[in-house]
Amino acid sequence: MAEKVILPAKVVPHNTPAYQALVNHYQWFKQQSLQKLFDADETRFEAFHLKDSDWLFDFSKNHLNEESLHLMAQFCEELELNQWREAYFAGGIINETEGRAVLHTALRAKASSEVFVAGENVIPKVQEAKKALKGLVESVLSGDWKGATGKTIDTVVNIGIGGSDLGPRMVVEALQVYQNKKVNTHFVSNVDGHELWHLLQKINAASSLFIIASKSFTTQETMTNAQTARNWLVKQLGEEAVGNHFIALSTNIPKAMEFGIEEKNVFGFWDWVGGRFSLWSAIGVSIAFATSWSCFEQLLEGAQKMDAHFKEKDWKENLPVLMAFIGYWYRNFHGTSSQAVIPYDQRLHRFSAYLQQGEMESNGKGVDRSGKTIDYPTCPVIWGEPGTNGQHAFFQLLHQGTDAIPVDFIGVVQAQHNLEGHHDKLLANLLAQSRALMKGKTVEAVEAEFIAKGVAKEDYEHILPHKVFLGNRPSSTFLLQSLNPQTLGQLIAAYEHKIFVQGIFWNVFSYDQWGVQLGKELAGEILPSLEKGAVNTNGDSSTKGLMQYIFDHQGRGAL
C-alpha cells in the first residue's frame, strides 16, 4: 500500500520574493520593445525556443529575456511546483473541494506504472477497462455487432455535452485523415432539438449505434437527447431493439439498465477523471470508432510522452511551465484580458473551443484555495478560429485594436494532402502574421511607401495614421511536424498541464466547477413554468417579461 500523498502548503503567490522581483522586472521590461530585443540579439531565437522530436515551440516573440526565465524558475520553486507536480501524478487530492484526485494522466500511463488512490493501484483497472473498450470497438468495426434486424453498424452517434462532447469531437475532426470507411461518427450535444432533428433525418435506425455519454446518466441535455433518440428508434424497430443500438458511458449502471441498455454495454470511469479531461477514458471511445483502437492508443501514447516531458524537464526547458508562465506574465503583469489560439490547420478548427472549456472552466475562479476573495486577475478569455479564416475576420483587432492580445499560433509542417500550392501559402501566412504582430509598421515606413508611389504629402498625410501598426504584440508559435494521433496527444496534454501550472500560479482549485451549478438549478425552477405555460411569479421582472413574450409568440398566452 502506498503512503498517503501529502500536498504542499498553500503558498500565496503574491507574498513570494520571486513575485516581488517579477514586479520590479516588469517595470523595467515594459519600456522594451520586441523589435529592440531582436535587433540587440540576432540569435534570440536560439535561446527562446524548445524542440523535441515531434514539435518546436518558439517563444522568442514574447516580452521575455533570460532574467525573466530565471525569475520564473525562482517563482516555481517558491510555490513548490515540483511537490505539487509530484502530488498531481501520484494521486494526491488536488481537487480538494470535491475530495478527489486528478488522474487523467493515469489513463495513458504505461501498464507497468503504479498510481495509488486510497491505497489501491488504479492502473490494473485502467488496463481492464481499456481491454473491454477495445473489444467493443473491434466488434463494431469488424461487423460482429449486429443491430436488431441483423444489419451491421455503419453509423455511431455520440450523445454528450461539455467534456463528453468537446474533446472527442475535436479529436475526431483533427484526425479526419485517419478515419475508417466502416462507420460514420456524429456528435450531438445541444439540447436545442434542431441538432438532433437534422441528424435523425439522415441516418438509418437499423444500422445506427448511439453512445450516451453521461457519468451520472442524469445530465439534462444529454438525457433529453438520448430519450428522443430512443423514442425515434423504438418507433421504427420496437422496444426490444434498444439493447442492440445503445451503449452507455456512465457510472450509473441501474439508470442505464432502466433505459434498456444491457449491463455489459455500460462502460464506466472514475471520479478522479474530470469531465473536461475525460477524452482519454471511455468517453473517448467515439474516437476509436471513427478511426481505430490502434489510433486511440497512439493518441494516449502521445499524451504520455508529454506527461514524461512535464515530469522530467527543468522549468526553463519545460513546455507546459513556459506556456503557463507566458500566459500568467501577460494576464497579471501586462493586464491582458484574453488569449487567442489560432491553429493554421483546418483539422484543428475545434481546438480553441475545446480549450475554452479546459482553461476557463478550470481557472475561471474568483476565490483562492483558502476561500478568500481574489483581488488579482485569473484566467483570461480563450478564443480563436483557424487561420487563414481568422485573418479575414478578427485579425484587424489583433493588429490595430486598443488591447494587446497574446496569440498562440499552431502550425503543422507536413501536409497530408497533395493539393499543390496550398500548404506553402498557409505556412507563409502563419509566419507572416506572427512577424507582423511583433514588427508592426512605422510612420516612416508608411510614408516611404507613399513617396515611392509618387503620392504628394498633402494627399496622404490624412491617411498616414490609419496605416501605422504599432507592433510589439506578442505571440508564441507551436509547430508540429505532422498532425497524427501521437502529436495531437502531445499538443492536448501540453495545454492540460499548462492549466494545472497556472492554477498553482493563481492559487486556485482548477478541477472543480461549482460556478456551472447555479444556472442548472435555476433552469430546473423555470422549466415547469415553461411546460405549463404559466409565468413564474417568483421570478424577477426581466425573467417574467421574457417568459410572457415566449408564451405570446408561441401562441399559448398566459394561462
Cα 273 to chain center, whole Å?
Answer: 15
CB 146 within 8 A of CB 241: no
> CB-based contacts of 533: which residues, under 8 Å, 6+ apart?
551, 556, 557, 558, 559
Residue with cell 405549463: 532
Q: Is the four-CA dihedral 513, 519, 523, 524 of positive or negative sign?
A: positive
In 401-461, alpha helices (H): 422-439, 443-452, 457-460
Known catalytic membership, residue 63: no
Residue 29 C-alpha cell reads as 521590461
Pairing of strands 246-249, 155-159: unpaired
- From 110, 520, 525, 532, active-site residue: 520
Residue 62 C-alpha cell reads as 514574447
Cα(98)–Cα(271) distance, rounded to whole angstroms?
A: 10
CB 410 within 8 A of CB 344: yes
Count other Cβ atoms within 10 Å, centred on residue 383.
Answer: 18
Cα(479)–Cα(414) distance, rounded to whole angstroms?
A: 10
- From 361, 399, 439, 496, active-site residue: 361
Residue 101 C-alpha cell reads as 484526485
**Comparing C-alpha atoms, which of 249, 255, 251, 261 is closest to residue 288?**
249
Cα(143)–Cα(145) distance, rounded to whole angstroms?
A: 5
CB 352 within 8 A of CB 360: no
Known catalytic membership, residue 520: yes
- From 392, 453, 462, 466, active-site residue: 392
CA–CA distances in Å: residue 367 to residues 364, 446, 451, 469: 10, 48, 57, 38
What's the longest Cα–Cα distance across the chain?
Answer: 83
Which residues share a beta bridge with 120? 117
Known catalytic membership, residue 14: no
Which positions are catalytic?
361, 392, 520
